[in-house]
Amino acid sequence: MKKYFFLLLIVLLTAPVFAQQAVQYSQYMFNGLYINPAYAGYRGPVNFHTYYRSQWTGMPGGPSTLALAADMRTAGDNVGLGLNLMSDRVGLEKRVYAYANYAYRLRVGWDPEDRLAFGIGLGFIHSGFDNAAARTEDPESVNIENSFLPDARFGVYYSTNTFFAGVGVDNLISQLIFNDNNGSTRIPPVTQYYITGGGIVPLATDILLKPSILVKNANNAASRAWTTDLNAAVIFAEQFTFGLSYRTALSSGKQLSESLKRPNSIIALAEFVAAGQFRIGYSFDYALNRINNQVGGTHEISLGYSLNKGTQRVRTPRYF
């Protein structure tokens, strides 16, 4: 009983903190569709990707995320289509995201692989609260209602054979129509911004360096919470990727504790590619601030598959 009461307090008392944060995702560099709809079609004809993230494994009921993405490039080569689903759970609160994405890709250089893409995603966000799992001494159920909100996302993505940069924005509609005046305690959607960039630097034969950066911003009326991932990975023979990320978090508001404003984690990650089609990735997040002793580390595993068929093939390897 004490365990469930503790989880309930975590959700209710720290709701403003969770509301400021985007769903954490350490392997964003392996598939950009989760944070940018303009990424749809980048990898080629048909692609599937999924990941599972278990955060703060030392805390009962810690955050967990399960996501699935599928995208394809049309025969005309200028249009990308994609679908992404995500289920995110924090304590007793669960949120489901679903989007259908469309990207239009323009050639912007002499090389046909130099593209500037504009993307939009339309879908919905469903928020719910697991009253059945709440165990308190108060017999009355917790008054947190379910909500179903339409939503949209937008993105811009520029890529060449050796460089990429993008901007994505989520929760464009849901946060505008959310109504919190009914007396219940619900966590409202928050507009999320993602800024990414990176490149490929040859080091030796069959050895490539892939530095990249991700800046995330969650904005609401109370504060602005920023998270920055600095990443460096090495690719061996286009099959093995090993890397490290350094994540910092800070807020310009007053709703994050001092310990969370400090540099908060380091991430080790790896990916293996088989036959140019199958991908498996793993990452481990280790918190550097005081919260690590209470909540433990974070594990994330991903699986991907690319289907290349017919004459519609990718000319160069996809490193991003």
Other C-beta atoms lying within 10 Å of the C-beta of residue 294: 10
Residue 315 within a domain? no
* Higher per-residue pLDDT: 74 or 166: 166
Domain count, the chain: 1
145-191 per-position pLDDT tens digit: 677 889 999 999 999 989 999 999 998 888 777 665 544 455 667 88
* Higher per-residue pLDDT: 313 or 244: 244
- pLDDT of 290 reads 63
Instruction: Compute the average pLDDT of residues 112-139.
Output: 78
**Nearest Cα to Cα of residue 97 among 85, 114, 106:** 85
- pLDDT of 5 reads 34
Residue 159 within a domain? yes
- Please, what sign has the CA dihedral across residues 55, 58, 62, 65? positive
What are the φ and ψ backbone dihedral angles of 13, each rounded to 5 degrees? -85, -25
**Nearest Cα to Cα of residue 305 among 122, 54, 15, 70:** 70
Q: Place 17 in a pLDDT band, splitting at 50, 70 and 90.
A: very low
Residue 48 within a domain? yes
Instruction: Compute the average pLDDT of residues 306-311.
Output: 66
What are the φ and ψ backbone dihedral angles of 10, each rounded to 5 degrees? -55, -45
Q: Place 258 in a pLDDT band, splitting at 50, 70 and 90.
A: low
Range of the domain at 89: 2-307
Residue 318 within a domain? no
Q: Place 210 in a pLDDT band, splitting at 50, 70 and 90.
A: very high
Instruction: Compute the average pLDDT of residues 203-209.
Output: 94
Q: Lowest mean pLDDT of 105-114, 165-174, 187-196, 292-301, name the range.
A: 292-301
Residue 268 pLDDT greater than 90, yes or no: yes
Alpha carbon 280 to chain centroid, angstroms? 17
Residue 163 within a domain? yes
Residue 120 within a domain? yes
CB 165 within 8 A of CB 158: yes
Residue 33 pLDDT greater than 70, yes or no: yes
Tell me the CA end-to-end span of the chain in Å, nearest whole number.
46
Q: Place 95 in a pLDDT band, splitting at 50, 70 and 90.
A: confident
Residue 216 within a domain? yes
Residue 304 pLDDT greater than 80, yes or no: yes
Instruction: Compute the average pLDDT of residues 103-113.
Output: 88
Q: Is the pTM of this model over 0.85?
A: no
Residue 1 pLDDT greater than 50, yes or no: no
Residue 282 pLDDT greater than 80, yes or no: yes
- pLDDT of 39 reads 96
Residue 93 pLDDT greater than 90, yes or no: no
- Percentage of residues of the chain with pLDDT beyond 90: 44
Q: Lowest mean pLDDT of 103-117, 211-225, 248-262, name the range.
A: 248-262
* Higher per-residue pLDDT: 249 or 14: 249
Looking at residue 163, which CATH number applies to its domain? Answer: 2.40.160.40
Residue 131 within a domain? yes
